[in-house]
Amino acid sequence: MNSPVMMDQAQRQLFLLFRVQGELYGTPLTGVREIVSYVKPREVPNTKKFYLGIISLRGDVVGVMDMRFWFQDMKPATASTVARALIVFESSSGVMAVAADAIESICQLDNKDIEYAKSIPSSFSAGGMIGLGRFKQGLATLLDVRALLNHVDVAAERKERWAC
Amino acid sequence: MLRGENQMFWRALSLRSKLMLLTLAGLFTAVFISFWQLRQSYRARQSALKSDFRIHAASAAGGIAANFAERYTDVQAFALNSVFQSGNREQMTNVLNSLVAGYQVYDTIMFVDATGAFVASNNRSFDGRALDTKVMDGRSFADTPWFQRAFRGESSDDKLRGFSGSTVEDLQVDPISTALHGATLQGMSFSKAVIASDGRVAGVVTARASLRFVESEMRSSFERLRQSGLQTAQLLLMNKDGLLSAEITSDLLGEKGEVKRNQDRILRWNVATQQGQFAAQEAVAGRSGSVVEFDRVGRVERLWGYAPLREQRFPEGFNWSIVVSVSADEVLGDLLLQRNISYGSLAFVLFAFGLLGYGTARSISRELLECSVRMKEDSIRLVEAGDELNEALRKVADHDPEEAGRVAVVEEQGKGMLDEIEKRTAALAECSVVLQRMHGDLGVSLERSGVVIESVRSVNAEILIMDEISSRLDELQGKLAAINEIVFKAQLVSFNASIEANRAGQFGKGFASIAAEIQLLSESTEQVAREINEISTKTQRKMIETTGSLRARMGGMERNAADWAGSLESVRSGFPAIVRCVQETAESLQGQDQVVGRICETVERVEVALAKASQIRSEVNRHVQDVREQSYRLEDLVQDLGHVVKGVRTRSRLKKNANQDGLVASRVTQATSERARADAVDRLAQKMRPRLVVESDGHEPEVTDFAVKQESNRRAG
């Protein structure tokens, strides 16, 4: 309800399903600008670990995030899989991309198939967490990635920087 | 075979002998080659010399013939001189003197009138000496052949060669010149009738040519030879009978070039009849040529060239001939020296060979001598062994009954062994046959194992092909990855298309359907690619598993087959040795069979020897018995002899003591002599005893009996 991408309850929403570390995630298609093949980003100093670096996408500088480290508070920060695609979003802090291991599909989902996040405990703030969606591929975590990217801070903390 | 023997001979030689043989062979070859070369050069030189000498002889003959032709025509010129028709004797003498002095070859030129009476002759010789013509005065030559022939006009013609008009007498001791010059002179006469202007014969001119005209030609030939370095040249001119007419050697030439004549030889020495004068005989027979004369030991002595003068312009009928010779030492001396050196070298080499052969023969004879000595020693040992065998036989004969029994047992055992050996030999032969058959079977098995190995290898080859297919499948996987990449890209395109369509909202619905189609297409493609991938992966996995297991199994099979073949081969290779071993065992058993047969024969011989020994023993016993009887008789004889001696001694003592001691003393003497006789007989018996022991061949009990008997006899006696 409090999600910025919240649509009409009666409407069906389009979600982009992708996998990271074998887990199925979904994000509303409206926030997605495009999907490109994975390009190794150029690292940027004094940034956090999940900020992989920047790439040049048709002249635009795009920052690349790694969800495997971004969600480290929730899941173990391991990188056992290889990212194959970058999902590009236009956030308020600029054009950002998120690395995904695989793009599953674009699916429409009825509201009845969505278990909203109010019943799911989460540390995500600002409505980043939508809920769980039931797809034919299985249950997927529905995240409003663009909303999450609006509030992300990629600059490294001082002690962390000195520790490096 | 011969080659093998030669090799053995060569190996048996010591190094020094080999080196010596090689050196001698090399020397012999070198000498032989030099001999051959020398012979060739010798022959070449000889043929050249022969040709030269033939030319020399022909040249000399040509000169003489030409000179002769001049002499033939000279007299005709003389006869034409008008002085002979003038009748002036003094003028004639002067003319004749001038002719003799001018020509230098005439001893005498004489004119006789038509009746044969002497008219005039030269009264000076060719060298100006005065001659006494008075010896000729009043002499008539009417009955001489030259006068008669010339007067009648009978000339010695050979018109074929251009001789006509002069009457010629052959070389002879000229009586006219000899009479006029007061010394024996040989020469030819050329006569010609002087025809007067009215055509009648006014007289006859006769020109007596000396040997000088031939000698001058021969001398010039000789000088030519001498100039060519031949100092020992010799020229001999012979008449038709082969008698020496003129000769030139360096000894016969004076300092001024005059020729000394050996009057003992001229017209007396028949050159053609001399032994070995082949050249002269050939020349007299009218043949020309050249020849090499050998002496009696085959050495070259002289070289001869010969030619008859009739080959030149010389009238038929005279048949003079000339020979030219030279010592071989002079023309072939260097070659003869080389030949002698070669003979010496050859003799040395042969001597060395002989020395080597002598040394070898000596060493062989020494070895033979040592061998014979050893054989002699061996024969002595053999005789000793024979004696020992005889001794042993004798001992066997002494214990013959027991030994015969043992020998019989041994013989029985030997026969049993023989049978056993024969059985085992037969069994071994059968075993050998079986082994050979097994050997053949093993060979067949070995071949089959080879076939198995071959098939395993072919399967291996197929496994390799499967490996290749697997690698191709790998390539296919690569291609599938590329397809997946394309599918992924297509999916991205479809996703982006869907995003764009979503963004376009209502306007992008058519585009969204295209995006959905693209996505479907990409999904189906991905599905197909995945299936293909699965299939190929499964196939590849299966294939890898199969080939791995096959390879492992084939490797094991190959190894097993190879091991099998190796073990079969080793067993097979061992079989001939086993068969050979069995055969050798069979042969050795046969050999043992023979040996046992020989032992049996020996045992039989020993039995025979035992029988003979027992015969000999019985004979020896018989002889001992005979000897014993003889000894008894001898003892009796000794006793008799003792009696006789006793009687004689008693009688003599009785006779002696009768006069001295009387009857008592005689009794005492008799008793003493009784004892002495007994002692003597005892001693004789003691002496006889060892001899009898020896004769009885160690039969002590017999001798003991004899001694007891002898003792009893003595006591009885």
Taking only the tens place, the pLDDT of each residue in B498-557 is 888 888 887 877 888 888 888 888 888 888 888 888 888 888 888 888 878 877 877 777
Per-residue pLDDT of B307-366, as tens digits, reads 888 777 788 878 888 888 888 778 777 777 887 887 888 888 888 888 888 888 888 888
- Which amino acid does the sequence have at B688? M
Distance (Å) from the alpha carbon of B528 to chain A's nearest alpha carbon = 17
Most distant CA pair in chain B: distance in Å?
Answer: 215
A14: nearest CA partner in chain B: B502
Roughly how many angstroms between the first and final C-alpha of chain A, as a whole number?
Answer: 41
Interface test with A, best of B486, B487, B488, B492 (most A CBs within 10 A): B492
The whole-number pLDDT of residue B696 equals 44
Q: Residues 6 or more apart from A113 whose CB is under 8 A from it?
A: A133, A134, A135
- pLDDT, tens digit, for every residue of A52-77? 899 999 888 999 988 877 765 545 55
- What pLDDT is stored for residue A78 in this prediction? 57
Spatial distance between the Cα atoms of B589 and B526, rounded to a whole number of angstroms: 90
Out of B489, B491, B496, closest to residue A34 by CB = B496
Is A105 in the B-facing interface, judged by CB distances under 8 Å?
A: yes
Q: Encode pLDDT of B422-447 as tens digits.
A: 787 787 778 777 777 877 777 787 77
Q: Which amino acid is at A145?
A: V
Contacts of B503 in chain A (CB under 8 A): 30
Report residue B262's pLDDT band, with 50, 70 and 90 as the boundaries. confident
In a 10 Å sphere around its CB, with 0-12 CB exposed, 13-18 middle and 19+ buried, how is residue B143 labelled? Answer: exposed
Q: How far is B550 from chain A (nearest CA, A)?
A: 37
* Boundaries of every domain in chain A: 12-150
Strand pairing class (B289-294; B201-210): unpaired
Q: CA B269 to CA B98: how far, in whole Å?
A: 35
HEC secondary structure over B598-644:
HHHHHHHHHHHHHHHHHHHHHHHHHHHHHHHHHHHHHHHHHHHHHHH
Q: How far apart are CA B27 and CA B350, in angstroms?
A: 10
Which stretches of chain B sit within 8 Å of chain A by CB? Answer: 488-489, 491-492, 495-496, 498-499, 502-503, 519
% of chain B surpassing 90 pLDDT: 8
3-state secondary structure of B311: helix
- HSE-CB of B664 using CA atoms within 13 angstroms: 1
- Joined together, the tokens standing for residue B233 give 């040249």
Instruction: Identify which of B492, B502, B503 has the shortest CB distance to residue A35.
Output: B492
Neighbour tally for B527: CB within 10 Å: 11
Could you tell me the CA-to-CA distances from B632 to B681, B706, B708 in Å, in that order? 13, 9, 12
Burial of residue A56 (number of CB atoms within 10 Å: 0-12, 13-18, 19+): exposed
Average pLDDT, chain B: 80
- Alpha carbon distance A30, A3 (integer Å): 13
**Where does the pLDDT of residue A3 fall: very low under 50, low under 70, confident under 90, or very high at 90 and above?**
very low
Which residues face A22 on adjacent strands?
Answer: none
DSSP B197: T
Which amino acid, one-letter code, is at B550? L
State mean pLDDT over B649-675.
Answer: 61
Whole-model pTM: value is 0.41
Distance CA A100, CA A145 (A): 12
List the single residue in A32, A34, A84 with the smallest CB-CB distance to B488. A84
DSSP string, B626-695: HHHHHHHHHHHHHHHHHHHHHHHHHHHHHHHHHTTTHHHHHHHHHHHHHHHHHHHHHHHHHHHHHHHHHH
| B499:A33 CB<8 A | yes
CA angle B195–B196–B199, rounded 5-degree value: 80
Rounded Cα–Cα distance for residues B219 and B217 (Å): 5
Point out the residue among B489, B491, B499 whose CB comes nearest to the CB of A34: B499
In this structure, what DSSP letter does residue B419 have? H
> Helix B509-658 and helix B328-398: axis angle, to 10°?
70
Q: Which of B484, B489, B498, B499 to mutate to test the interface with A (most CBs of A within 10 A)?
A: B499
Chain A residues closer than 8 Å to B519 by CB:
105-106
CA torsion through residues B590, B592, B595, B597, sign: negative
Q: Which residues in chain B are contacts of A37 at CB distance < 8 A?
A: 488-489, 492
Chain A residues with CB inside 8 Å of B504's CB?
A: none
What phi, psi does B535 have (nearest 5°)?
-60, -50
Q: Provide the β-strand partners of residue B169.
A: B189
Verify whether the Cβ–Cβ distance B498 to A29 is below 8 Å.
yes
Q: Is the pLDDT of residue B194 over 60?
A: yes
Tabulate helix, strand, coil % of chain B (nearest 5): 75, 10, 15
Residue A33 with chain B: CB contacts under 8 Å:
499
Distance from CA of A106 to the nearest CA of B (A): 7
Chain B nearest-CA distance from A33, in A, is 7
Please tell me which of the candidates A30, A35, A105 has its beta carbon nearest to residue B496: A35
Angstrom distance (rounded) from CA B326 to CA B228: 12
The token pair at B320 is 């003079």
CA A4 to each of CA A90, A129, B471: distance values in angstroms, whole numbers, following the listed order = 14, 11, 55
Question: CB under 8 Å to B26, separation ≥6 — which residues?
Answer: none
The CA distance from B478 to the nearest CA of chain A, in Å, is 18
Top residue of A35, A82, A86, A108 to mutate, by most chain B CBs within 10 Å, is A35
| Cβ neighbours of residue B324 closer than 8 Å, sequence gap 6 or more | B53, B56, B57, B60, B221, B225, B233, B234, B235, B304, B305, B306
Query: In terms of DSSP bridges, do strands A51-57 and B167-173 run parallel, antiparallel, or are they unpaired?
Result: unpaired
Which member of B491, B502, B503 has the closest CB to residue A103? B491
Query: Residue B653, exposed/middle/buried by CB under 10 A (0-12, 13-18, 19+)?
Result: middle
Please report the residues numbered 111 through 140 in chain A whose beta carbons come closer than 8 angstroms to any beta carbon of chain B: none
> Residue B563's CB: how many other CB atoms inside 10 A?
11
CATH architecture of A12-150: Beta Barrel (2.40)
For residue A84, the chain B residue with the least C-alpha distance is B488
Smallest CA–CA separation between B473 and chain A, in Å? Answer: 25
**Measured between beta carbons, which residues in chain B are less than 8 angstroms from residue A14?**
498, 502
Three-state DSSP at A36 gives: strand
> What's residue B111's pLDDT?
93
Measured over the CA atoms of residue B12, residue B16, residue B17 and residue B21, the dihedral's sign is positive
Q: Name the residue among B495, B502, B503 with its Cβ closest to that of A35.
A: B495
- Residue numbers in A near B491 (CB within 8 A): 103
Position B132 scores a pLDDT of 86
pLDDT tens string B353-376: 888 888 888 888 888 888 888 888
Distance CA A143, CA B505 (A): 22
Q: Is the pLDDT of residue B284 over 90?
A: no
Closest residue of chain A to B496, computed from CA coordinates: A34
